[in-house]
Amino acid sequence: MYTIGQIANIIGISRDKLRYYEEKGILIPKQNKENNYREYDLKDIDTVLLIEFYRSLDLEFKTIVKLHKQSNIKNIEGILDQKKNEVIKEIDRLNAIVNRIEATKKGCNDIERYMDKYTIRQMEPIKILGEISDFRAYDEFEIIHENRSEFDDASIIKSMKRYITFNAEGIESAKMLITKDMYNDGNGKGDCILQYEKCAYTIVEDGLHKKDVMGETFKKSLEWIYNAGYTHKGIAIIGMLLMVNDEGIGKSYLEVYIPLQ
């Protein structure tokens, strides 16, 4: 017979965990009537080893209890298939988070490089899921929530792209597109895809403390495009790159794509 301390040392787990197994009714040691100490036999050791084995597969404890009471190979295979699918789904979710983290890090680097500066850049394809009238048209956000399954848990602000048409005199029209970044998710056949091979690209700071950011941006953009010898298509697509709170002042960093002929 073994004491709880000996079992803990043999298996390499804590006494608290052994007591937890007892509370759940899966481990039932004998009680020494003389000193009231728990006593464990070889069967108890095997039970703990079984629990630890299935815990290493991240199975829920209630599932392990069921397997301990009654199990066969087919039953175990079914449980493992279900767990495998859950793990794969979780891996996909975590990979999506990693991609969003990398994209945000790249955004930080782009802010440092292109803030109020211009370069030529391709606008990656985006799938258009719908539109609302404005960023703060909160009563229209229902269409965003209807498409949340498309976003892979991405934030609302990253799904919005402002689509603006303009001419030499200024902005003609503006609307907010609800979009999904396509990256390498296929060719998008049959979908409404927006993509431009060559754009004038810049990043601007916006916020409630700013006035007429878009007006100033378009004036500078048209001047840069003209001086660089390009011709624009009268379109701009603006997306949220990053939001910060700097000493109580909310700031947004917007990336601006102006497609070129």
* pLDDT for 191: 64
| 8 A C-beta contact, residue 230 and residue 260 | yes
Q: Quick one: how far is CA 117 from the chain centroid?
A: 29
pLDDT of amino acid 188: 46
Mean of pLDDT over the chain = 89
Q: From residue 76, how far is each of 52, 73, 85, 216, 220 by CA, in Å?
A: 16, 5, 14, 65, 66
Instruction: Give the separation between CA 92 and CA 86, rounded to whole angstroms.
Output: 10
Proportion of the chain above pLDDT 70, given as a percent: 95
Q: Which tokens go with 23?
A: 């509370």
Exposed/middle/buried for residue 227 (C-beta within 10 Å: 0-12, 13-18, 19+): exposed
Mean pLDDT along residues 189-218? 82
pLDDT per position as a tens digit, 145-173:
888 888 767 788 888 999 999 887 778 89
Of 13-22, 140-149, 177-186, where does the model show the most confidence?
13-22
pLDDT of residue 162: 93
Q: Which of 191 and 8 is assigned the larger pLDDT?
A: 8
Nearest 10 degrees: Cα torsion 14, 17, 19, 24 = -170
Provide, rounded to the nearest whole percent, the portion of the chain with pLDDT above 90.
Answer: 57
Which residues sit opposite 181 in a β-bridge?
126
Q: pLDDT at position 205, please?
A: 92
Residue-wise pLDDT tens digits, 27-60: 988 888 888 888 999 999 999 999 999 999 999 9
**Span 125-134, mean pLDDT?**
90
- H-type helices in the chain, by residue range? 4-11, 15-23, 42-55, 61-69, 73-114, 142-146, 156-159, 213-227
Kindly tell me if the per-residue pLDDT of 210 is higher than 80. no
Q: What angle do CA 126, 175, 97 make, to 5 degrees?
A: 40
Entry field: residues in the chain: 261
pLDDT at 84: 97
